[in-house]
Amino acid sequence: MGIYGNTAVEVVKNYSDGQDLHIEWSNQVSKFTSSKSSIEKSCPKCTFLGLCEEGLVVGIPKRKYLDLGNKNKNHAIMLYRIFKKKSELSSCELHKLYVIERGASLTNNGQADILVSLYKENLLNE
């Protein structure tokens, strides 16, 4: 697991009802890196929140966490759909397949790592 996969897993494991996931993400990511740019990077956080918003993360309520039309939520949903069909993929393989299916490049900002890490810890809903 990478920084953002570990962060996602820890946010879920430490979640308590009503907690602000934005704040919990910041608290957890800072345990895995001291890099300010990595801590502040929005792509992985929004990917995780997009999965939560869709009710795809075990123990996290389905509700609004992001602004409408967030592109990382869209990436998260498409990555999830691909991964459900091919859950044996590594995060790197999942990212590559996503780029191929999407037909356009996507900077790897840990989006696939989040999905694979949550899956390995049995934290993704079916």
Q: What does the angle CA 27 – CA 44 – CA 53 come to, to the nearest 5 degrees?
A: 90
How many angstroms separate the CA atoms of 48 and 30, rounded?
Answer: 16
pLDDT band at 98 (very low <50, low <70, confident <90, very high): confident
**105 pLDDT exceeds 80?**
no
Phi, psi for 57 (deg, rounded to 5): -110, 125
Say how many domains are in the chain.
Answer: 1
CA–CA distance, 121 with 26 (Å, rounded to integer): 21
> What confidence category does residue 17 fall into, taking pLDDT thresholds of 50, 70 and 90?
confident
Residues in the chain: 126
* 77 is a domain residue: yes
Q: 71 falls in which pLDDT band (50, 70, 90)?
A: confident
Rounded to the nearest integer, the mean pLDDT of the chain is 90
**Is it the case that residue 108 has pLDDT exceeding 80?**
no
Task: Tell me which residue range forms the domain holding 44.
Answer: 3-120
Residue 88 domain-assigned? Answer: yes
The pLDDT confidence band at residue 103, using thresholds 50, 70 and 90, is confident
d(CA 126, CA 124): 6
Residue 125, in any domain of the structure: no
Query: Which of the residue ranges 1-5, 69-73, 100-104, 119-123 has the most confident prediction, judged by mean pLDDT?
Result: 119-123
In a domain, 126, yes or no: no
Please tell me the pTM assigned to this model. 0.91
